[in-house]
């Protein structure tokens, strides 16, 4: 049995695990990834992500390559069985505070190929395909993981400072931490049909349509290129094999298309669930993505939530690898993420109830009635849950805007705080605990400071605000209090 060592072991190489690896690769730490499959699962699963996630993609250097593989999503309409509009959720083609459009469509294998290729040249990253995790155990100041190398049919051991389970709904890492979950009670079987149009059919909607119905709720998605997706709800007693019969599928789709228009790329059945693990951490072991939470797909936030998880976690683990284990810092991961993802799941469940025509149209507190009587929804952007920083600080836990710079060596301000905390202030500061930037030299950042009426901010590598100050005279006390949990 062969033993190897690394700083961080990532279990699972889907979007969540591969984004985590890309984020951690900015640091001088060793990373080992275990993936039980031999290659990328080549069929679409996730088809949507938002502006916050594109900002993360920009930070790891895949934006330009990946942008070519996406389309801008125009939004979602909820209609009744007679195609009357119930609720409109437009996604305007307007740049958000995160620096990108609110909503994108993509083909998941395209993303995974780009994420993996981005890691290949990094000598600090080792990827083991055909490798199945069998058990993990705590060994004091490190974690020992045993896995099966299915190519050589041999058992191997990895000793890691930290382990992150990005290994999906049936996560072995989650079993190690705890199997207790918060169940929100939404569980439904849905058929998912992905098709490739033989030619562009112009009369199909150019946005997502949610067909609300007590009998057969359904969803239509306009995806990249000639790909289109339909999903429809199933009776819990339905027989999967019968439902996935091609004749039955084409009968259901006949309202929109025929076999002359498209070919079926895949057909499958999912059971949509609404769960959050009660514990996301046990010592030096963490879970993220589907291992930590499951949501119905109606908001398109499943993959996004997993990427938010690792965006919150990567720099905390890297900090602990470089400066010693930081218990208080690592303990903020679950508390900051759980509340945020819970709000997304509850809003998604309310959308599901509307789809089933048993809920109110007020699916979230962002639904507003227009002058003409129609109802319109805007996207939710929940702040972080309690964790780092003072909860009484009105800016703590909110996203800092993406700022393009005109007269600078760098094109955007995000690149100034990629891997560490940074203090932004209107005056020079003599404090060696933290990187400091005087914002007076950045006209665009000064505008944000003036709008927020502040004199200083501490920003985290994940683009969230740690703390804010409006009195420069207290700046050293401010730094000390803000960084207490990093000691």
pTM of this prediction exceeds 0.85: yes
Specify whether 22 is located in the same domain as 112.
yes
Assess whether pLDDT exceeds 90 at residue 431. no
Specify whether 42 is located in the same domain as 155.
yes
Picking from 455, 448, 401, the residue whose alpha carbon sits closest to that of residue 425 is 455
pLDDT of 427: 87
- Where does a domain end: 316, 332, 348? 332
Q: Is residue 190 part of a domain?
A: no
pLDDT of 487: 66
Specify whether 32 is located in the same domain as 150.
yes
Query: What's the rounded mean pLDDT across residues 174-178?
Result: 97
Q: Is residue 374 part of a domain?
A: no
pLDDT of 430: 85
Q: Decide: 94 and 138 in contact? Cβ < 8 Å.
A: no
Q: Decide: 441 and 449 in contact? Cβ < 8 Å.
A: no
Q: Is residue 93 part of a domain?
A: no
pLDDT of 454: 94
Specify whether 316 is located in the same domain as 441.
no
Q: Is residue 267 part of a domain?
A: no
pLDDT of 410: 78
Assess whether pLDDT exceeds 90 at residue 230. yes
Domain count, the chain: 2
- Report the CATH number that the domain containing residue 427 is assigned in CATH: 3.40.30
Mean predicted lDDT score pLDDT of the chain: 93
Specify whether 48 is located in the same domain as 153.
yes
Specify whether 304 is located in the same domain as 450.
no
pLDDT in tens, 303-314: 999 999 999 999
Residue 243 or residue 253, greater confidence: 253
Q: Is residue 376 part of a domain?
A: no
Assess whether pLDDT exceeds 90 at residue 288. yes
Assess whether pLDDT exceeds 70 at residue 8. yes
Which residues constitute the domain of residue 47?
Answer: 2-69+106-180+276-332
Q: Is residue 92 part of a domain?
A: no
Half-sphere exposure at residue 194, Cβ-oriented, CA atoms within 13 angstroms: 17
Q: Is residue 373 part of a domain?
A: no
- Where does a domain end: 300, 332, 364? 332
pLDDT in tens, 183-213: 999 999 999 999 999 987 778 999 999 999 9
Assess whether pLDDT exceeds 90 at residue 269. yes
Bridge partners (DSSP) of residue 268 are: 192
Query: What's the rounded mean pLDDT across residues 439-454?
Result: 93
In sequence order, what are the residues at sequence separation of 6 or more whose Cβ sits closer than 8 angstroms to the Cβ of residue 275?
181, 182, 183, 184, 293, 294
- Where does a domain end: 332, 355, 374? 332
Specify whether 13 is located in the same domain as 144.
yes
Specify whether 293 is located in the same domain as 421.
no
Specify whether 320 is located in the same domain as 468.
no
Q: Decide: 164 and 286 in contact? Cβ < 8 Å.
A: yes
Assess whether pLDDT exceeds 80 at residue 27. yes
Specify whether 315 is located in the same domain as 450.
no
Query: What's the rounded mean pLDDT across residues 399-411?
Result: 87
- Report the CATH number that the domain containing residue 11 is assigned in CATH: 3.50.50.60
Q: Decide: 422 and 436 in contact? Cβ < 8 Å.
A: yes
Specify whether 39 is located in the same domain as 156.
yes
Q: CA-CA distances (angstroms) from residue 471 to 20, 294, 479?
A: 37, 43, 12
Assess whether pLDDT exceeds 70 at residue 1. no
Q: Is residue 344 part of a domain?
A: no
Burial of 16 (0-12, 13-18, 19+ CB in 10 A): buried
């Amino acid at each position: 049995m062969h033993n190897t060592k690394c700083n961080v072991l990532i279990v699972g190489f889907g979007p969540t695990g591969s984004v985590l690896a890309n984020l951690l690769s900015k640091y001088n730490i060793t990373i080992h990834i275990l993936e039980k499959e031999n290659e990328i699962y080549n069929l679409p699963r996730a088809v949507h992500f938002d502006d916050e996630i594109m900002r993360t993609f920009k930070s790891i250097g895949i934006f330009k390559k990946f942008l070519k593989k996406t389309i801008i999503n125009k939004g979602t309409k909820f209609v009744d069985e007679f195609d009357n509009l119930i609720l409109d959720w437009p996604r305007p083609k307007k740049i958000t505070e995160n620096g990108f459009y609110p909503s994108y469509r993509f083909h998941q294998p395209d993303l995974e190929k780009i994420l993996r290729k981005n890691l290949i040249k990094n000598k600090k990253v080792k990827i083991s395909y055909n490798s199945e995790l069998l058990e993990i155990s705590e060994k004091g100041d490190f974690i020992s993981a045993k896995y099966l190398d299915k190519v050589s049919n041999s058992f191997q051991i990895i000793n890691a400072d930290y382990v992150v389970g990005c290994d999906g709904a049936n996560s072995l890492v989650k079993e190690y931490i705890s199997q207790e979950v918060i169940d929100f009670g939404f569980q439904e079987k849905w058929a998912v049909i992905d098709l490739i149009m033989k030619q562009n059919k112009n009369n199909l909607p150019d946005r997502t349509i949610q067909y609300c119905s007590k009998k057969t709720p359904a969803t239509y998605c306009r995806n990249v290129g000639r790909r289109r997706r339909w999903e429809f709800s199933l009776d819990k007693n339905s027989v999967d094999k019968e439902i996935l019969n091609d004749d039955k599928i084409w009968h259901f789709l006949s309202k929109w298309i025929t076999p002359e228009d498209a070919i079926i790329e895949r057909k499958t059945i999912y059971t949509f669930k609404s769960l959050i693990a009660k514990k996301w951490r046990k010592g030096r072991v963490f879970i993220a993505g589907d291992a930590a939470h499951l949501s119905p797909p109606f908001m398109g936030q499943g993959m996004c939530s997993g990427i938010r998880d690792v965006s919150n976690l990567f720099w905390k683990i890297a900090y602990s690898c470089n400066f010693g284990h930081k218990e208080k810092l690592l303990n903020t991961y679950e508390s900051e993420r759980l509340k945020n993802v819970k709000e997304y799941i509850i809003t998604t469940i309310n959308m599901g109830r509307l789809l089933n025509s048993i809920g109110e149209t007020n699916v979230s507190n962002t639904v507003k009635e227009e002058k003409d009587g129609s109802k319109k929804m805007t996207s939710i952007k929940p702040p972080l849950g309690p964790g780092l920083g003072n909860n009484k600080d009105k800016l703590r836990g909110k996203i800092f805007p993406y700022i393009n710079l005109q007269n600078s060596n760098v094109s955007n301000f995000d690149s100034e705080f990629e891997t560490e905390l940074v203090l932004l202030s209107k005056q020079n500061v003599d404090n060696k605990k933290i990187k400091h930037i005087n914002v007076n030299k950045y006209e665009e950042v000064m505008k944000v400071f003036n709008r927020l009426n502040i004199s200083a901010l501490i920003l985290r590598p994940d683009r969230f605000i740690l703390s804010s100050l409006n009195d420069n005279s207290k700046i050293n006390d401010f730094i000390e209090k803000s960084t207490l949990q990093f000691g």
